[in-house]
Amino acid sequence: MARPPSDKHWQLFEHLYLRCPPPLHPAQFLETWEVSYSELAKLSGVSRSTIEHWMSRSASHREPAVMQQRRLAAIDRLFRHVDQVPPELIRLWCDSEHPSCK
């Protein structure tokens, strides 16, 4: 049976998804992490072509959406603190029964 989110749920959402982490532009990500455009595309959840548009200085330039910038910021934080992420948190975050988590 479905249940409505409590005030605590909404506060967590607002804190973790609306404000944190602050957006990180792909160019800034590349200043820290040596990854290819293909790898950056995989991390960002977009195509390599989209990455090329983001990084272009021509008329085809597009700015990445805040959603992708926040995703890169979250990945940056995970990469920076990889040794501090407890395995039980990973298990809680990713249902180990789901095929994408295996």
For 42-57, b where at least 16 C-beta lie within 10 A, e where not — what string? Answer: ebbebeeebbebbeee
Instruction: Check if the beta carbon of residue 55 is closer than 8 Å to that of residue 77.
Output: no
Which CATH number do you get for residue 40? Answer: 1.10.260
Domain that residue 79 falls in: 20-101
Please name which of 29, 101, 102 lies closest in space to residue 71, comparing C-alpha atoms: 29
The 10s digit of each residue's pLDDT in 26-44 is 999 999 999 999 999 999 9
The 10s digit of each residue's pLDDT in 56-88 is 999 989 999 998 999 999 999 999 999 998 888
Residue 30, amino acid: L
In a domain, 53, yes or no: yes
pTM of the model: 0.78
Is pLDDT above 90 for 49?
Answer: yes
pLDDT interval class at 90 (50, 70, 90): confident
Into how many domains does the chain fold? 1
> Rounded distance, CA 27 to CA 76, Å?
12
